[in-house]
Amino acid sequence: MAVSKRYSYSDTELDRYEGGVIEALKARSGEAIPDPDEWLDEDLSQNILLTTVDAVLNWARRSALWPVVCFPACCAFEFIAIAASRWDFARFGMEVVRASPRQADLMITAGTLTWKMAPQVKRIYDQMAEPKWVIAMGACGISGGLFKGSYSVVPGYNRIVPVDVYVPGCPPRPETLLHGIMMLHKKIAKRSLMQEGK
Amino acid sequence: MALKTEHFVLNLGPLHPSTHGVFRLRATLDGEVIVDIEPVLGYLHRGIEKLAEGCTYKQNIPFTDRLDYLASMSNNLPYVMAVEKLAEITVPERAEYLRVIMVELQRIVSHLIAVGTFVQDLGAMGTPLLYMFREREKILDLFEMVCGQRLTYNYMRFGGVSHDIPDEFLPALAKFVDRMPGFIDEYDQLLAENEILLARTKGVGILPKDLAINISASGPVLRASGVKWDIRKADPYSVYDRFEFDIPTGSISDAYDRYRVRIEEMRQCVRILRQAMEQLPKGKVLTEVPLKLRPPAGEVYAHIEAPKGELGFYLVSDNSDKPYRFHIRAPALINLTALRQMLIGWKLADAIIVFGSIDICLGEVDR
Amino acid sequence: MTVALSGKEMAGKLEAQFPASIIESSRASLIVKSEFLLRIAWYFKATPGFDFDYLSSITAVDYGNYFELVYHLVSLEHNHSLVLKTRCYERDEPVVPSLVSLWQGADFQEREIYDLMGIRFDGHPNMKRIFLWDGFQGHPLRKDYSDGT
Ligand code: SF4
């Protein structure tokens, strides 16, 4: 829906515009999500790099994954629990939970996603700098969980953002989430600059 | 010459670190002063009321867990009470006591988080919240002992509770109850006389008594406005009439009073827990009820004093195994009604504090 | 203990003042015609002895051929309660009077009913959807709602 080019909008106009955005995203949600690295052309992948560079880079990347704030529902409290002293994910260089997506490279989707919320989450994901990863936390993050059949719930985050690791549970225990984070570390360790852009 | 200025609309949320979930405020500002503010809700609207109409009575207990996910035990209780009322199921005495113990522990958890996030919004990044998480973890361990879950318990059943407590539970609870008053004193030392806390919360976000009643506020918000109304006393349910406790109230009705009321309520919780532990009878914890319960046609409303206020369930049964209508009276949603009146004319920075002092949980506001 | 006032007794008291305003009354509740709702609610709120100053909850139920609105009134002063109801037989454009002018606590709850049940409240200052977005089709809590899947 086009927005008129005036300086300010009335509440009704804003509501209607936002409603349009939600409907548009909902209509697109069945499609495959395009690879964000597509624009990197062949030049880069034809360059030759030594594996040790990869190793160092990946080590640096996985040892300081900064999560972005994305806590819609109950799972958020298990996320906060691993941020608190008992599980303390500062051990993995993750304690800086960023409110600004531009400073983060990991999105832990802690909670149910509704269609009304979906455009915001998508926007936050789009604003994060590459390379970036997503952990779908909890049954709701994976498939909509308990609320799968509802008229307002997105059946899984992978409808709107690409997900790297799925952590089951309702909510997952902190240990489970830590395990998910370890799996993501392994995934990052396998990454090579040579692959980027493919 | 006077400078011509325009009002300016600022959008806070829905993903904003101090909004305690996906809550959004659309504020119209004149400089820093709020001229109008509109809460925009629904970012966590999961349609529980509709989903519940498609599930059997028993299948609906897990939905209640996920309403106010900081107080799942307290959400179970009014729902099972409503169904018990409808189907005339009696609850063994031991189960009633266990329910009270769980609900009071849950109230402590909820208030800990309420106070912790509230002072975090004031700028005390981390420290007080970490203190409160320390005690919260102890209570979660107790819950884990009885039902194996840390957050969404699904512990209460029609006619009782799902499991009896294990042997280790009571000693662990006794230890906790002995130590908790010390911890509350510790918070008081840290916070009660803190100059920043006083400066930013005293006199801020006043909700006069009449308005509080008129907007149907409940829980600590209502009591901080000087209304001595607590459903545990006014309309005693379960075995609350057997315990002695006070109802703390506020006098100035500001954000500081709401904070004080929560701290004092935690002390009262400890008092109730002590008495409940002493009186805990022996016996069964669950009455047998059919798996596919079909309550007689009719309607029922059951309410309790949840940590955030009056939590009620209104059920309509048509004698089938699924509720015909399943309505939740959510205290947090209704407490928010006053937000606009409390904020107009104040600075934007106060908005966060007043909002934090109401203590909401989006799972329950949006359902 | 909150005393639940009997709808039957209340009906007797109302009969003189508001003739032909009551649809039905029972021990548990009192059902009034919607055109009298505002006046009767005001009567209950302002009459000494009743003093229903607190509107605990509002909800609506879809019974197929009519909607029923349920108001739980409480008096904090006398600690008694009453279940007041009204009905709306219209399905396409149901309208009932809003109680926001008496109890502001009705504000969000009436918006919620409008959003999910599609009942419009006459006199509400801000009658728009509260949970779902603008452009959402239908009202999900109605029994005949389907989202097309
Ligand atoms: S997975 Fe379970 S705990 Fe997590 S957000 Fe969904 S309902 Fe809540």
Tens digit of each residue's pLDDT (9 = 90 or more) over A28-70: 887 887 776 666 666 665 665 556 777 777 787 788 888 887 7
Residue ID of nearest Cα to ligand 1 atom 5: A111
Q: How confident is the model at residue A194 (pLDDT cuts 50, 70, 90)?
A: low
pLDDT over 50 (residue B87) = yes
With a 6 Å cutoff on the Cβ, whether B152 touches ligand 1 is: yes
Instruction: Sort residue A29 into left (φ over 0), alpha (ψ -120 to 50) or beta.
Output: alpha
Of the candidates A70, A71, A147, the beta carbon closest to that of B46 is on A147
Mean pLDDT, rounded, of chain C = 83
pLDDT range class, residue A6, cuts 50, 70, 90 = very low
pTM of the predicted model, to two decimals? Answer: 0.84
pLDDT digits (tens, 9 = 90+) for B301-353: 888 988 888 898 999 988 888 889 889 988 888 888 888 888 888 888 888 88
Q: Distance between CA C101 and CA A77 in Å, rounded? A: 39
Say what the pLDDT of residue A37 is.
Answer: 65
Q: Determine contact: B151 vs chain A, CB below 8 A.
A: yes
Q: How far is the CA of C113 from the centre of ligand 1 (A)?
A: 26
Answer whether residue C50 shows pLDDT above 50: yes
Question: How close C93 comes to chain B (CA, Å)?
Answer: 21
Rounded to an integer, what distance in angstroms lies between the CA atom of residue B74 and that of residue B313? Answer: 12
Q: Calculate the alpha carbon distances from B36 to B40, B45, C29, C130 in Å.
A: 13, 24, 39, 17
Interfacial residues of C (vs B; Cβ cutoff 8 Å): 1-2, 28, 53-57, 59, 61-62, 70, 72, 76, 79, 83, 103-109, 112, 116, 129-133, 140-141, 145
Distances (CA, A) of A171 to A151, B153, B308: 22, 11, 22
A114 CB within 6 A, ligand 1: no
Complex ipTM over 0.85: yes
Tell me which residue has tokens 């309509």.
B316
| Mean pLDDT of all residues belonging to chain B | 86
Q: Which atom of ligand 1 is nearest to the CA of A147?
A: 7
Q: Is A56 in the pocket of ligand 1 (CB under 6 A)?
A: no
Say what the pLDDT of residue A59 is.
80
What average pLDDT does the segment C129-135 reach? 83
Provide the angle, in degrees to the nearest 10, between the axes of the packed helices B255-279 and B348-358.
20
Cβ atoms of B45 and B367 within 8 Å: the answer is yes
For residue A2, name the pLDDT band (cuts at 50, 70, 90).
very low
Torsion of CA C71, C76, C82, C86, to 10 degrees: -20
Give residue A8's pLDDT.
61
Q: What is the mean pLDDT of residues C10-34?
A: 78
Contact status, residue C61 vs residue C94, Cβ threshold 8 Å: no
Which residue of A79, A140, A142, A167 sits with most ligand 1 atoms within 8 Å of its CB, as the best mutation to test the pocket?
Answer: A140
Q: Is the pLDDT of residue B2 over 70?
A: no
Tell me which of B5, B19, B28, B46 to substitute to probe the interface with A (most A C-beta atoms closer than 10 Å): B46
Q: How remote is the CA of residue A79 from the centroid of ligand 1, in Å? A: 12
- For residue A159, the 8-state DSSP code is G
Q: What is the pLDDT of residues B105-134, one digit of tens each?
A: 999 999 988 888 888 888 777 777 888 888
Nearest CA to B143 among B172, B113, B186, B182? B172
For range B177-206, the mean pLDDT: 84
DSSP B67-101: TSTT-HHHHHHHHHHHHHHHHT----HHHHHHHHH
Q: How many residues does chain B have?
A: 367
With a cut of 60, say whether residue C14 has pLDDT above it. yes
Looking at residue A60, its amino acid is A
Q: What is the mean pLDDT of chain A?
A: 79
Residue C148: per-residue pLDDT: 60
The answer to whether C93 contacts chain A (CB < 8 Å) is: no
Q: What is the pLDDT of residue A198?
A: 41
Q: Where are the alpha helices (DSSP H) in B192-247?
A: 195-201, 209-214, 220-224, 231-234
* Per-residue pLDDT at A197 exceeds 50: no
